[in-house]
Chains A and B, each alone.
Chain A
């Protein structure tokens, strides 16, 4: 087949329909990645305008530009938009766009999930923007401390908008996290072992892994607070056994890793772009991989440093202080890796390098003030002042914006096929750089002079007048700088000089793609033997385009890409990806209805929406798989591999593993909250303990055991091709699980105190609810496998679906037992029949 014929064949398979249908059903990672980046940039602009309004108000003392009601909405929305609607989605978009290209793959592991995440993000954003337009935007600060955000002190819908809107968007973030983790681990070009991956993939892997366990605590916190606001269950109310600090622990358990979740992808860009700019390959690759793994791990042990002034015992503070200081070490290792690379090479001051220089300058200062803030006594003084505002902008703008700008200019020829104007880009950089430092350097001093955060105005004579005026003037210079950057990028896209295919002479695979980027990325996939596969010029690109690599063919119109063994990168399977579909947008719309129903208080509508989501999820899963055994397929280059439904460790299996990891983190956070309240909150032990029923608990145990055994039988029978026996097993397992769910409900009904009286009752009911919801989901899955057995989608060779369901079932059973123990054990004395 000639290169052109192959291109046309693949374009037919991977392309999207014309017009609106194409827009709404598209699952292509390049298109979705671009959409994420563009939408996130729009949110950056909106957040930036809010920042300008804030600076306008603070430029002079006693300014009457806005009152506190509006001002509180301004800074809350500024923070929330920048964190949740700009930083995270922008990096997700960039990762979605770039990863498959860097890894030599044709798409991400779960294309429909990318699209679902996109629609959730878009619809969630509409909720936030709509509320802002109506003047009902959240106004409790972007960390929404309780009890200020509780119903008593924020009676309006403002806080609900935050809790529900942000949670909706977080679903998108968790989807992206699972998607990216599995894609890095499984969907690479054959031969690309972990240690041959481009360094950016390592950063994304660690970041995505952190998101899998970082977001559930916040989702839990939002869920609990929304339940408290809607139904009066007192998780955070100290009068009724709750504790305001529970919110802070859960929030910062997410919030601190969040800082690294934002920083790491940006550092990944530095590690990718800097070596190209200095004409030397990255020094200390292994060191950097090690340091980001350490960073990802330890970033979960520092959250208390946001709470040094809350009255936690000093011994604990000392521990978290030391941990917060130590976490700087892996970052310094990276910095010295970059410096070593620079010293070994010949740095070129091209525009991306200029932004990396800006990153070094600003991020370094932000990191150093971060170390200062980690020292408890100093923290007591400057916490909650403008000093912290300055610090966090140094970290986030220095540690995220500047590397991202370096990345945008670096990949601009890849994204658009064009190059930007050399002078305009530099002018934009210097305006942003100068404006930023004028704004925020002096803000450290404003904080040291005693100005608290989040005040809508201040009195003259406190020494705060001139620094605030300087900050405001600097911020307008910065805004002009961003406007210049936007103009420069716009001009480049419209009129820029055409770029050659690999203008920076980089060595990673994304530069092997033709321009414009085809929907299928690469006509055939390379065999990767070094960390810099593109070293040999254009020969590789040409041979791939001619179909000489893996999967350079049209096999029955299927979307195929290579799946590899995680560590070695050995080809293990041909992954068949799903095509364009209405399901993502429909499911996101149904999910949106669920959140909107809760937001406006139509509580009867919420379960209806959930039923629709479940039905769509069924169809979602049913659209996958194969009803025939195909055996090993010709994968090109003389290699053979089975399709993924017949492989041992298909992406779907790993996707479930990471979804359940997120789920388990949610449960662990809930148990942490339970233990925290029991030990710290006033009003414990509760006046009324559970009086668990032996009978109900016994039925739960028996039903759990029956479900376990029946599923075991069902899977064994599937493996032995005994379809009737397998169906009976799955049917029995589903029935037993249904009985377990009912018995669990009865257990709650008979023995648990009312949820609204005391935090104890509220927590045990939420635990019970967790068991019931998971039992119901697993029941649906068992029924699904039973159905698939009948339809011929399961065979001894195609065991993926039964194995995935086993994973979910066993997790569910364990969770149910854990829930039972967590409720029953503390009140061991009060059991009854």
Chain B
């Protein structure tokens, strides 16, 4: 227990150190990426505008395509939600000012407000969500690199098949930057959940199942990961670090594994 706890603190402090490095390295590149993709610019604008939203585990400071497209979805939904809130709560507040009874159009309220208004907005949101989900899940994509993430109370084992046999690391997940990697997630005991907030959504690690998630870090760096599904007394300390290597470093790593 105490050993696990110490490991957790270590990881978190890694994250703390990493944060400063991260901002220096990733800032300009993120900006460049934002110029390429208009929606991404919005997300970056959001991140910059909110300032405090950058954080080592912040979904609002995306560093990979999945997390970035989700942050755009999130922004769009937020705008739609804010508009709906203003309309409905505005109608509520305006109604409070009425001082005498008068007839209202039942059709306008119930058909227009009750049916048409939500159906239009919900259809837009749902179609957007489903199409985006289909893209993120990448059912037909078969990345060249597949890594097994095995959760066990309360740490992670990441196993990669290299040229010279398999390499397993505890709580450190090495990936090449700029490439899509498949993570096959499983568990040795209870249900955990694999989550690197800045790169992608989460996927549960369930004993007896092999779930898969595609993940990509655009730029080299260290990205914090956590266990998101409650798994017992060590749940809070079940963090890990994803290290995205630049091509040379990755090649070195592969060679090292071969040797």
- Give me the interface of A with B, judged by CB distance under 8 Å: 68-69, 72, 140-141, 145, 147-148, 152-153, 238-239, 243-245, 278-280, 283-284, 287, 291, 309-311, 314, 317-318, 321-322, 325-326, 328-329, 332-337, 339-340, 342-347, 349, 357, 360-361, 364-365, 368-369, 371-372, 374-385, 445, 448-464, 681-682
Contact = CB atoms under 8 A, between A and B. Distances in A.
Given A326-B122, A376-B130, A450-B226, A333 B114 contact: yes
Contacts of A381: 59, 67, 70, 74, 197, 201-202
Interface string B35-78: 00000000000000000111111111000001101100110011
A449 B130 CA distance: 24
Nearest to B230: A454
Given A368-B81, A375-B133, A459-B16, 14 more contacts: A140-B230, A147-B207, A244-B191, A278-B95, A287-B110, A309-B201, A311-B211, A335-B113, A346-B99, A371-B77, A371-B81, A380-B200, A450-B59, A461-B56
Interface in B224-259: 224, 226-236
Contact of A361 (B59, B89, B109): B89
Interface stretch (B134-142, B143-151, B165-173): B134-142
Interface stretch (B25-33, B100-108, B155-163, B174-182): B100-108
Contact of A448 (B59, B195, B234): B59
A449 B53 contact: yes
B84 A317 contact: no
Contacts of B132: 377
A153 B190 contact: yes
A343 B94 CA distance: 8
18 contacts: A68-B233, A72-B233, A147-B189, A148-B230, A284-B109, A325-B122, A329-B122, A337-B114, A342-B98, A371-B122, A375-B133, A377-B66, A379-B201, A380-B200, A445-B53, A450-B58, A454-B230, A457-B236
B92 A357 contact: yes
Nearest to A345: B101
A372 B79 CA distance: 11
Contacts of B74: 372, 378, 381, 448
A309 B106 contact: no
A17 B172 CA distance: 72
Given A344-B104, A463-B55, A380 B202 contact: yes
Interface string B1-38: 00000000100110110010000000000000000000
Chain B, interface size: which category? Answer: 35 or more
B133 A377 contact: yes
A77 to B, nearest CB: 14
A27 to B, nearest CB: 42
Contacts of A375: 73, 77, 125-126, 128-129, 133
Contacts of A360: 88-89, 92
Nearest to B202: A309
Contacts of B103: 344
Nearest to B82: A368
Contacts of B69: 377
Nearest to B103: A344
B130 A329 contact: no
Nearest to B58: A449
A666 B242 CA distance: 45
Contacts of A462: 12, 15-16, 55-57, 224
B183 interface: no
User: Shortest 9 CB-CB distances between A and B: which pairs?
Assistant: A380-B201, A238-B208, A450-B57, A463-B55, A375-B129, A311-B211, A333-B114, A459-B12, A340-B109
Task: Select the residue from B56, B92, B132, B227 with max chain A CB neighbours within 10 A.
Answer: B92
Contacts of B133: 314, 317-318, 321, 375-377
Contacts of B137: 314
Nearest to A333: B114
A17 to B, nearest CB: 50
Contact of A321 (B19, B55, B126): B126
A345 B100 CA distance: 7
A527 B84 CA distance: 44
A440 to B, nearest CB: 15
A284 B209 CA distance: 49
B219 to A, nearest CB: 19
Given A311-B209, A377-B201, A380-B200, A329 B119 contact: yes
Contacts, number: 282
Contacts of A448: 53, 58-60, 74
A334 B110 CA distance: 8
A72 to B, nearest CB: 7
Interface of B: 9, 12-13, 15-16, 19, 52-60, 66-67, 69-70, 73-74, 77-78, 81, 84-85, 88-89, 91-92, 95-96, 98-104, 106, 109-110, 113-115, 117-119, 122, 125-126, 128-130, 132-134, 136-137, 139, 153, 189-191, 193, 195, 197, 200-204, 206-209, 211-212, 224, 226-236
A147 B191 contact: yes
A148 B230 CA distance: 9
B18 to A, nearest CB: 10
Given A238-B207, A361-B89, A456-B236, A382 B59 contact: yes
A454 B235 CA distance: 8
Contact of B126 (A280, A325, A460): A325
A148 B193 contact: no
Task: Select the residue from B74, B102, B227 with max chain A CB neighbours within 10 A.
Answer: B74
Nearest to B94: A343
B206 A364 contact: no
A681 B114 contact: no
Contacts of A455: 235-236
Contacts of A321: 126, 129-130, 133
Nearest to B92: A360
Contact of B113 (A332, A361, A456): A332
A340 B100 CA distance: 14
Nearest to B153: A153
A311 B149 CA distance: 14
A449 B126 contact: no
B102 A344 contact: yes
Contacts of B136: 377, 380
Contacts of A379: 201
A727 B103 CA distance: 66
A228 to B, nearest CB: 14
Contacts of B85: 364-365, 368
A460 B16 CA distance: 8
Contact of B15 (A280, A339, A461): A461
Contacts of B113: 332, 335-336, 339
B81 A336 contact: no
A375 to B, nearest CB: 3
B159 to A, nearest CB: 19
B114 A336 contact: yes
A148 B191 contact: yes
A572 to B, nearest CB: 34
Contacts of B119: 329
B89 A333 contact: no
A449 B60 contact: yes
Task: Select the residue from B54, B101, B109 with max chain A CB neighbours within 10 A.
Answer: B109
B100 A346 contact: yes
Contacts of B209: 238, 245, 311
Contact of B125 (A325, A329, A332): A325
A369 B70 contact: no
Contact of B106 (A284, A368, A456): A284
B192 to A, nearest CB: 10
A380 B212 CA distance: 13
Nearest to A457: B236
B126 A347 contact: no
B226 A148 contact: no
B150 to A, nearest CB: 14
A679 to B, nearest CB: 14
Nearest to A280: B101
B109 A328 contact: no
B40 to A, nearest CB: 15
